[in-house]
């Protein structure tokens, strides 16, 4: 969840859910660096049509704007060749030798290594929002906010899965799991050999979680970072200090984060230059870590960028426009009536009448962001939405439009 977001807790609009990273709605470019033993770096697609990336052991996968999946890298257990075809997927997750995805119909897909049932035991119901996987286990977040785990239970990463219906994010380590509650507190379970369970931070107010092989990291609402667990190469002790971070990710023994200015900071193990080769630039929007490689999405747009993610009933949301001009204000417009177009004094908008709006909200450090909650009454609806960036002197800019389903 992004820094400087403004509280707007009861608006009947969007849901934003971070898991392995924000799921973006506009096409972006993939940047990959670090270990390339199985071409998990060099085979990264070069087109600007991706909304999420994820890393496995030595493979990677990405989600396109049309909801289709692309995989590349090591294929020793079919984690590339068995990638599901078709469109309509909402998110992807790379694990050790297997991968997972959630379709817009709420069903799970799992493929690759399956000795412990981490693929074949995937639940068959159609009520899932997110999934992730570790060494030999998988788990998922259901649309009702509960968790389900399957696969290897060697260190109780299945049997100790917490109960409850208040979870909003998940992250899998090698043999441990993390989940974020809607109050911003963190649940941790599984193997605790490096205190990745017992040292998980207490308290509330965390907005993102990430898991490495044996370490965890969390982003607080004040923009600061907290790390815990294995610290062999500085993944914990070298965690940067500051209150200007907006997105996080972990590799096996390295970590990295995006700052408010869109730049990347990396630390920890650097055997394959996964730290020193971190790309320069100030236009990064999402991160994902593999074993010894890293992935990022770089914005392909030069003007204001409107991004939201899966719309999931009952969950807190963040809706944002980045790259806003200094001193501007943003209006979030939406309609349930259809995709338009409709002519307005600001130009043609991609939604039909009646049109509702929230705001205007001021930009802070180039970002205008609000938090909202999705009511059950919106389940199954299609939201058509676009934002208007207002500057001084009557200058205005329409952002990209989004057309998304409420799950």
* Distance from the Cα of residue 311 to its chain's centroid: 13
Taken as a whole, the chain contains a residue count of 407
The confidence score (pLDDT) of residue 296 equals: 97
pLDDT at 1: 19
CATH class for domain 308-405? mainly beta
**Residues sharing a CB contact under 8 Å with residue 394, sequence separation 6 or more, in sequence order:** none
pLDDT at position 107 is 96
State the virtual CA torsion across 167, 173, 174, 177 in degrees, nearest 10. -20
Q: What is the pLDDT along the chain (407 residues), one digit of tens a residue?
A: 122 222 222 222 222 222 333 444 457 899 999 999 999 999 999 988 899 999 999 999 999 988 999 999 999 999 999 999 999 999 999 999 999 999 999 999 999 999 999 999 999 999 999 999 999 999 999 999 999 999 999 999 999 999 999 999 999 999 999 999 999 999 999 999 999 999 999 999 999 999 999 999 999 999 999 999 999 999 999 999 999 999 999 999 999 999 988 899 999 999 999 999 999 988 898 999 999 999 999 987 667 888 776 567 887 778 888 888 899 999 999 999 988 889 888 888 889 999 999 999 999 988 898 888 888 888 878 888 999 999 888 888 888 888 777 77
Res 354: pLDDT: 93
Instruction: Look up the pTM and report it.
Output: 0.76
- Architecture per CATH, 19-299: 7 Propeller (2.130)
**How far, in Å, CA of 218 to CA of 229, rounded?**
12
> Is the backbone peptide bond immediately before 360 cis, with ω within 30 degrees of 0?
yes
Cβ–Cβ under 8 Å, residues 141 and 167: yes
Q: Is 150 left (phi over 0), alpha (psi -120 to 50) or beta?
A: beta
Q: In this predicted structure, what is the pLDDT of residue 10? A: 25
Closest CA to 29 of 62, 58, 59, 74: 62
Beta pairing, strands 368-373 & 6-7: parallel
pLDDT at 23: 42
- Report d(CA 55, CA 20) in Å as an integer: 9
Domain boundary assignment for the chain: 19-299, 308-405
For residue 190, the cross-strand partners are 176
User: So what's the pLDDT on residue 279?
Assistant: 95
CA dihedral (301, 304, 305, 307) in degrees, to 10, reads: 180
């Amino acid at each position: 969840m992004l820094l400087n977001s403004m509280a707007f807790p009861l608006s009947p609009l969007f849901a934003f859910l971070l898991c392995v990273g924000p799921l973006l709605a506009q096409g972006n470019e993939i940047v990959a660096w670090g270990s390339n033993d199985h071409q998990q770096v060099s085979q990264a697609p070069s087109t600007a049509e991706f909304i999420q990336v994820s890393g496995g052991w030595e493979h990677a996968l990405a989600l396109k704007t049309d909801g289709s999946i692309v995989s590349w890298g090591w294929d020793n257990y079919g984690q590339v060749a068995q990638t599901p075809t078709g469109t309509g997927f909402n998110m992807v997750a790379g694990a050790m030798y297997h991968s997972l995805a959630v379709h817009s119909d709420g069903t799970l897909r799992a493929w690759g290594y399956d000795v412990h049932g981490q693929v074949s035991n995937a639940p068959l119901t159609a009520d899932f929002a997110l999934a992730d996987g570790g060494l030999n286990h998988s788990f998922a977040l259901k649309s009702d906010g509960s968790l389900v785990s399957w696969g290897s239970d060697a260190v109780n990463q299945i049997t100790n899965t917490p109960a409850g219906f208040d979870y909003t994010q998940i992250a899998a380590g090698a043999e441990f799991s993390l989940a974020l509650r809607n109050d911003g507190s963190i649940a941790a379970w599984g193997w605790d050999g490096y205190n990745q369970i017992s040292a998980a931070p207490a308290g509330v107010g965390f907005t993102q979680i990430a898991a490495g092989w044996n370490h965890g990291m969390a982003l607080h609402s004040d923009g600061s970072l907290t790390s815990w667990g294995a610290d062999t190469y500085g993944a914990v002790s070298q965690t940067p200090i500051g209150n200007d971070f907006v997105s996080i990710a972990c590799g096996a023994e390295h970590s990295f984060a995006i700052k408010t200015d869109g730049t990347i900071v990396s630390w920890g193990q650097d055997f394959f230059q996964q730290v020193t080769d971190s790309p320069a630039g100030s236009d990064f929007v999402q991160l994902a870590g593999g074993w010894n490689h890293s992935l990022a999405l770089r914005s392909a747009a030069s003007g204001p960028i409107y991004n939201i993610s899966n719309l999931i009933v009952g969950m807190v949301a963040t809706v944002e426009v980045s790259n806003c001009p200094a001193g501007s204000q943003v209006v979030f417009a939406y309609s349930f009536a259809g995709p338009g177009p409709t002519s307005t004094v600001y130009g043609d908008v991609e939604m039909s009448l009646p049109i509702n709006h929230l705001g205007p909200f001021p930009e802070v450090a180039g970002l205008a962001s609000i938090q909202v909650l999705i009511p059950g009454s919106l389940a199954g609806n299609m939201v058509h939405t676009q934002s208007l960036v207002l500057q001084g002197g009557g200058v205005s800019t329409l952002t990209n439009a989004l057309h998304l389903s409420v799950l």
